[in-house]
A and B are shown apart, each in its own frame.
Chain A
Amino acid sequence: MIIGIGMSDPFLVGVITLFLLLGLILIGVRVVFAAAIVGLLGLVELRGWGPAAGIVGTIPHAKSSTYALSVLPMFIFIGFLAFHAGMTQQLFDAARKWLGWMPGGLAVATVFATAGFAAVSGASTATAAVFSRVAIPEMLKYGYDRRMAAGVVASAGTLATLIPPSAILVIYAIIVEQSVGKLLLAGFLPGIFSAVVYAGIIVVWAMAKPGSAPSVTGFTWGERMRTLPGISPIILVVIIIMTSIYGGWATPTEAGALGAFVVFVLALIRGTPVKSIKNSLMESAKLTVMIFSLIWGVLVFVRFLGFSGIPGAFTEWIVGLDMAPMTIMICILLGYAVLGMFMDAIGMLLLTLPVVYPAVIALGFDPIWFGIIAVKMAEICLITPPIGLNCFVVNGVRPDIPLGQVFRGVALFFIADVITIAALLMFPEIVTWLPNFDFEAWWSGLWAATS
């Protein structure tokens, strides 16, 4: 096999370039450059300089100007605008009044307020930052355990990537050529499920240690009802995005645009300064270009990978293994957990999916289900040492809570996440039911039954 020292053997070139890519990324070359250089060099080796550079030169424009990707800037913009419009405070206030009576009520309220905020935002660390400022002071005021207060904010931030609109799920859908709408829908139930598991574990913990997470009572129904107008834009955004995907009255991009417009108008009504709106636009542009660079950089590499035959060989090897598919899946997930400790979730998925995804499909797993599981796995790494960015974010906003305490507080939610992953592995329907639900048939059935 290694006869082709002249480097004509695509497989050998593939293996060498994979190692080169790994080396470049390890020494801190930005992923877009590392992937594009390695892809270019590999193509040059197989096709010669002229054709290779010609192919590579067309990829950035060709791959970026696709309609499906245009949903990303809209979703990103919604998230940044929502922060600047101050929606978090109202969400937390509503959740506190509706759920405060439960054991550990303020922590439970934080979980659901974060889940609600996740419905307008797809960024995990940003969500943790905002709620550190909104929810932690309130919890400390009522004598909550500091570890619990910090842990719940850091962990609940991770819900943002599952509950639509989620940028990372859109990217997954495009890389593996699945329906964006289906993936967005698929994240919804697992996101809610994660939130419920978090809430459940808080309630159990609060009942075991009554003093350290008291409930907050004494709100009238009138007070509760009055919180609803404040959170209505978020409900509206959820309705716009979910019904457009189901009913097909708008494409995800159009739904995203309308959602952004709703939040934009609301921001104007609330008197958000023009400077803040400009800032959220500049931040959105920055994040958009970061994601798009990553996408085309990795796609240059993917173009070469296709020629090298590596994904096929890897798939063949995986399928030939004498192990149950579920065992292999768990090994892949553990691999992601380790990788995620050192790398950004989007970068990690983009780099590994071209090789891992075909193998996962060949093993007979559902592509949508795998996307949700992989993203959830990557998110867990945001709360585990050594990087655990969400924990650092909480500690950064509240320097009075030492990092060690944040990580200890998160441990409880790590257990909750393991339960969630196990449940998703055992009951894939949690993921696949909603995207495959035939809404039209159900609706016309309902119609027929009433008339």
Chain B
Amino acid sequence: MAQDIEAEHSLLARLHRGFMPIEDFANLAAAAAIMLLMVLGVLQIVLRTVFNTPITGYIDLVELSMASMAFLGAAYTQRLGAHIRMELLVGRLSGRALWAIEAVGAALAMFIIAVLIYHSFGHFLRAYTLGDTTIDAEFQTWPSKLLVPIAFTIWWVRLALQFVGALRLAIFPDATPIAVVVAKDVAEQAQDEIHEVMGDDGDLQGPEGTS
């Protein structure tokens, strides 16, 4: 029995660690998009006011690029437990009850994200087959729409890992937490805020559970 737990332990832990670079990369892509948005904005001002030749389809371009910033970091943010929620109850629970509730939460999240993956893919497919373009500059919209199911799939995998992690702890409350977000009280949240601002390279030892 103990070995079974041990085996599952290592598999889950390996999946957890193995998946992290993908999430990090997706968030890095979102970060790059923010950087590009800045450069694009400055270019637009300079080109328009100094050379009187604004970038063609600037607004369309910005709108299409929003998808990368709005979705790609979702799984990364999920891993760090930064999507907001009310911690009033979960902050007080511990042991089996806590992990059972966390598992329920993750299962619900997996359900809605699965629905959204399926139907946002449909949204993309329609745009792709119809050759949908933006009104002004007539850019293709499908690449932007495709980002939603891609980002949500990464998100779903992270949620699934958290679900398994929480379920495992609900069954074996004394096991080492893996692939779950450890609920924090206010003091610990405050520490996170401080850490966030004061920097350090401690990003990866953050609140994402130990492995």
Chain A residues packing against B (C-beta within 8 Å): 24-34, 36-37, 40, 53-54, 56-58, 60-61, 64-67, 69-70, 73-74, 77, 83-84, 125-126, 129-130, 133, 249-250, 253-254, 256-258, 260-261, 264, 275-276, 278-279, 281-290, 292-294, 296, 342-344, 346-347, 386-389, 392-393, 395-397
Contacts and interface: CB of A to CB of B under 8 A. Distances in A.
8 contacts: A26-B86, A26-B88, A33-B109, A54-B122, A60-B70, A126-B193, A261-B38, A293-B74
A276 B34 contact: no
Interface stretch (B9-17, B42-50, B172-180): B42-50
B30 A129 contact: no
A257 B38 contact: yes
Interface in B67-116: 67, 69-74, 76-77, 80, 82-90, 101-102, 104-105, 108-109, 111-113, 115-116
B203 interface: yes
B84 to A, nearest CB: 5
A130 B193 CA distance: 10
B38 A70 contact: no
- Greatest chain A CB density within 10 A among B44, B119, B203 is at B119
A249 B49 contact: yes
B70 A281 contact: no
B191 interface: yes
Contacts of B187: 392, 395-396
A260 B67 contact: no
Contact of B41 (A24, A26, A257, A388): A257
A53 B115 contact: yes
B133 interface: no
Given A36-B112, A64-B70, A392-B189, A258 B41 contact: yes
Q: Which 7 A-B pairs have the closest CB atoms?
A: A57-B119, A257-B41, A392-B190, A28-B90, A292-B70, A281-B31, A289-B73
B77 A253 contact: no
B190 A393 contact: yes
Interface of B: 27-28, 30-35, 37-42, 44-45, 49, 59, 62-64, 66-67, 69-74, 76-77, 80, 82-90, 101-102, 104-105, 108-109, 111-113, 115-116, 118-120, 122-123, 144-145, 148, 183, 186-187, 189-191, 193-194, 196-199, 201, 203
User: Most chain-A CB neighbours within 10 Å: which of B83, B112, B113?
Assistant: B112
Contact of A289 (B40, B72, B109): B72
Given A129-B198, A275-B201, A257 B59 contact: no
Contacts of A249: 49
Given A61-B67, A74-B38, A125 B193 contact: yes
A24 B62 CA distance: 35
The dominant DSSP class at the A interface is helix
Contact of B148 (A24, A26, A61, A343): A61
A29 B69 contact: no
A389 B196 contact: no
Contact of B112 (A28, A37, A258, A275): A37
A289 B69 contact: yes
Contact of A65 (B67, B80, B90): B67
Contacts of A254: 41-42, 44-45
A288 B84 CA distance: 12
Given A26-B86, A130-B197, A53 B190 contact: no
Contacts of A133: 198
- Looking at B30, B123, B190, the one whose CB has the most chain A CB atoms below 10 A away is B190
Contacts of B189: 389, 392
Contacts of A60: 70-71, 116, 120, 148
Contact of B28 (A34, A65, A282): A282
A30 B31 contact: no
Nearest to A263: B38
A69 B84 contact: no
A147 to B, nearest CB: 18
Contacts of A292: 69-71
Contact of A282 (B27, B113, B190, B198): B27
Contact of B34 (A281, A347, A388): A281
Residue of A54, A65, A260, A292 most packed against chain B (CB within 10 A): A65
Nearest to B194: A129
